[in-house]
Chains A and B, each alone.
Chain A
Amino acid sequence: MSDSTAAESSKLSPAMERYLEVKAQNPGSILLFRMGDFYELFFEDAEIAAKVLGITLTSRDKASDNPIPMAGFPYHALENYLHKLIRSGYRAAICEQVEDPKKAKGLVRREVTQVVTPGTLTDEALLDPREHNWLASVFAGRDSVGLAWLELSSGRFFTTDVSFEQLPDELARIRPAELLVSENPAHAEQLWPVLQQRGMVLTKRPPWSFAPEHCLKMLLNHFQTRTLEGFDLTADSAGVTAAGALIEYAQETQKSSISHIEKLEP
């Protein structure tokens, strides 16, 4: 732990300041913060990890008045612990040291390189080889429900418009590992019961990420096309909006190219 010596002072160490900054940028995720050969978790995350992962809860700055709860595991155990976290329904943001500590001037630069959620797994070790792992998104339009589903591990991407009555059947058919929905969806009184009763792993997104124009733009940008007619889709369908929200989320979590998603199939 190259930074541990810097933490002795009563004020927050630069590393902890960076931690809080990254944590604030990734709300809702358990932050795995790389420090040398360990991934460390702090505060509430540490308490959750101690429970879910069965690792020891300790604290940083033990001598000070406000010791920080801390837990961690060696870097080579990441896969195993990540698997447990995701299985237990948590999301994890992995913050790596993105420069060589030997060459770093001062604090090593750290960035979130990947956000892992049940629907965005791509690591072979975390996936069941026999099962699809669909990330889906649902958007209640004026007179239909848009549904889109995407498998990041293969790049397959689909969308459709269904009626409210058909929605449970479609969800039962696709069995998404994670479902995106607006925090404040239209027809909420119809939508929530359908989603909540079925034990779906729901990820609530801000309402603007389901704004139809914004979603269309996301898709056109991703596919580098001017219209979606080539995919046999109309721009104003609810399914297209659901698909756009999905692409945005995929970009946010992957932090790397998702150019393998080459087409959107109706």
Chain B
Amino acid sequence: MIIDEATRASLELTRTLREGRRDGSLLDTIDETVTSMGSRLFAEWLSNPLTDRAAIEERLDAVEELARDAALIRDLRDQLRQIHDLQRLTARVATLRASPRDLGSLAQTLALLPKAKARLSGRRSAILQQLETDLDLCPEVRADVEAALVDEPPLLTTDGGMIREGFHPPLDELRELARGGKEWIARYQAREIERTGIPSLKVGFNRVFGYYLEVTAAHMDKVPADYIRKQTLKNQERFITPELKEYEDKVLRAEDEAKLLEQDLFQALRTRVAGHVTRLKNTAEVLAELDVLTSLAVLATGRGYCRPQLTDEPVLDVREGRHPVLDRLKPSGDFVPNDVILGVNDEEAARGSDSAASFGRMQIITGPNMAGKSTYIRQAALLAIMAQTGSFVPASEARIGIADRVFARVGASDELGKGQSTFMVEMTETARILNSASDRSLVILDEIGRGTSTYDGISLAWAVTEYLHDTIRCRTLFATHYHELTELTSTLKHASNWNVAVHEKDDGIIFLHRIVPGAADKSYGIHVARLAGVPRDVVQRAQVILEQLENDHVDDQGRTKIPARKERKSRERQLSLFVAEEHPLIDELRKMNLDELTPLAALQKLHSLRDQVK
């Protein structure tokens, strides 16, 4: 599905319009993944909805199968939650930047796979079967890393302690040597305590002096002559002996060698693992996809979504649809669901719906601002995008004809910073829709022609609507506050009027957020003014002015005076090609050799050209 930049932004698919943040976008609201790989893949899916019905159905099949098995979802997600970012781990292995801890994480992840693979066996969905086949457990890689590395490897390669005891005998020998030296030193301390009679004598170690003997000030008189003073502190003194230094040397040399050997062993291990990068990458992709499908199943079951029925016909038939983002923001049950029915023939639509209105491919929705028009039309676009991503949708029932493109011209997006006027932006976006939409597209328009004078705006909105209806013949939802446009339904066969239901009370009005058939009450603004307590004189005067304005612009039948749209005949169009013949002056201009003209001659030429135009 092609989604242009403006549509992507105004529908807030992956980023919010105002702040450009992920929080609050559709992606953020419906992302139930538990791994970072899955989260990234889901963002990709949602940014690229499919148009191939078979491919979408395959995803939906997988989601449905998972959604029907709560225990399966729970088990898979338990596994997925524990896995690391295998994709990025693998890349670090390949570029030889992986740390010992990275390799440990990789092995831990691989260790979780056999269980997940077992849970995937015997599934019906083609995708789940494929994932099961493709899930490469990479047992050699896992065995290699597990044998070589300790259970919780350190972050750095330089400090040792990475390689498991028993993996490499020469390393074990060096470690034994170091350990033996340390044991000797421990025994040496006991021996020296006995020899000197200093009970508090201690062997210590620091990086600067290495091993030393520490004696407190109180026992200084008992220090034997063979001790060599190294450092004097406040309450104690530190000494060394040749014997101690000899063993220190042994210990430190063995430790150094062991560390170097560990580094070599680690690098060799990393290089061996890097030889399996392709397999690891494939496994990472399988896990990411499994996470996305499972999360879509969680979404489907947890929020009362339904499986959309996909069709190649240009219809949109959503019953009790909800806006996926707003539905989550409001307390459960507070969001008012709406049917959206487009392009369904009347007989079919009669089923279960509370109105007998026609369900042509175009809806014109009128009513005051803030009443829910925008929510209603956006919801339709979002549901189509979700369905084509392979997700269930927030509705009780949905039949969705696959859209090749979704267009949303909604509100005045804030492009002032880009140096274009709001109206210019609006018309650029409109032009794009009119030039590139097809009869398979879904178009939602919010307040076309708002950025200019009223007559200008109505005229443009009117002509755009006619063009979408007659020429492009796409599914269209058009929200407008121009009441005049409701008359379009008398000439446009496949268009119908809808408005926002309002409940009036003595002290005000309540928007029911329910979209119902029929045009909105036209004196609505004045009505609200009265309810709001605008002085009676002003309200009455407004009423009179309104009537006068309307009388000036309606014909005998009370309809707005607008000339009928003429179908352009193909002959006219051909003629027009010849009408645009070149003006003879253009040829003359073209022939002028500017390099040879003197300034004076140029001025004279200009004169003669102007005279010809006169």
What residues of chain A have their CB less than 8 Å away from a CB belonging to chain B?
A: 122, 124, 127, 129-132, 152-155, 168-169, 171-173, 175, 197, 254, 256-260, 262
Contacts and interface: CB of A to CB of B under 8 A. Distances in A.
B459 interface: no
Contacts of A122: 88, 91-92, 95, 97
Interface stretch (B2-10, B173-181, B534-542): B2-10
Contacts of A168: 4-5
A256 B88 contact: no
Contacts of B82: none
Q: Which of B8, B14, B43, B88 has the most CB of A within 10 A?
A: B88
B5 A172 contact: yes
Given A122-B97, A169-B3, A172-B5, A155 B91 contact: yes
A154 B36 CA distance: 12
A152 B91 contact: yes
A152 B22 CA distance: 22
B471 interface: no
Contacts of B111: none
11 contacts: A122-B92, A124-B92, A127-B88, A129-B85, A130-B36, A132-B43, A155-B94, A172-B9, A173-B48, A258-B95, A260-B94
A171 B91 CA distance: 25
Given A122-B95, A129-B36, A172-B5, A260 B90 contact: yes
B87 interface: yes
Interface in B66-102: 85, 87-88, 90-92, 94-97
B351 interface: no
Chain B contact surface mostly: helix
Q: Give the interface residue-count category, chain B.
A: 20 to 34
A260 B88 CA distance: 11
A255 B3 CA distance: 38
Contacts of A155: 90-91, 94, 277, 281
Nearest to B35: A129
Contacts of B39: 129-130
A237 to B, nearest CB: 20
B97 A256 contact: yes
A260 B8 contact: no
Contacts of A171: 5
Given A168-B4, A169-B3, A169-B8, 12 more contacts: A122-B97, A127-B88, A131-B40, A132-B40, A154-B284, A168-B5, A171-B5, A172-B5, A254-B95, A256-B96, A260-B94, A262-B281
B254 to A, nearest CB: 19
B91 A262 contact: no
A122 B3 CA distance: 30
A152 B5 CA distance: 25
B5 A257 contact: no
B44 interface: yes
B95 A256 contact: yes
A256 B95 CA distance: 7
A262 B278 contact: yes
A137 to B, nearest CB: 19
B195 interface: no
A13 to B, nearest CB: 27
Which of B5, B278, B281 has its CB near the most chain A CB atoms (within 10 A)? B5
Nearest to B43: A132
Interface in B430-480: none
Contacts of A129: 36, 39, 85
Contact of B4 (A154, A169, A175, A260): A169
B377 to A, nearest CB: 21
B418 interface: yes
A259 B94 contact: yes
A169 B277 contact: no
Nearest to B99: A124
B267 interface: no
Nearest to A132: B40
A131 B43 contact: yes
B3 A173 contact: yes
B7 to A, nearest CB: 9
Contacts of A132: 40, 43-44
B84 to A, nearest CB: 10
A23 B418 CA distance: 36
Contact of A260 (B9, B47, B95): B95
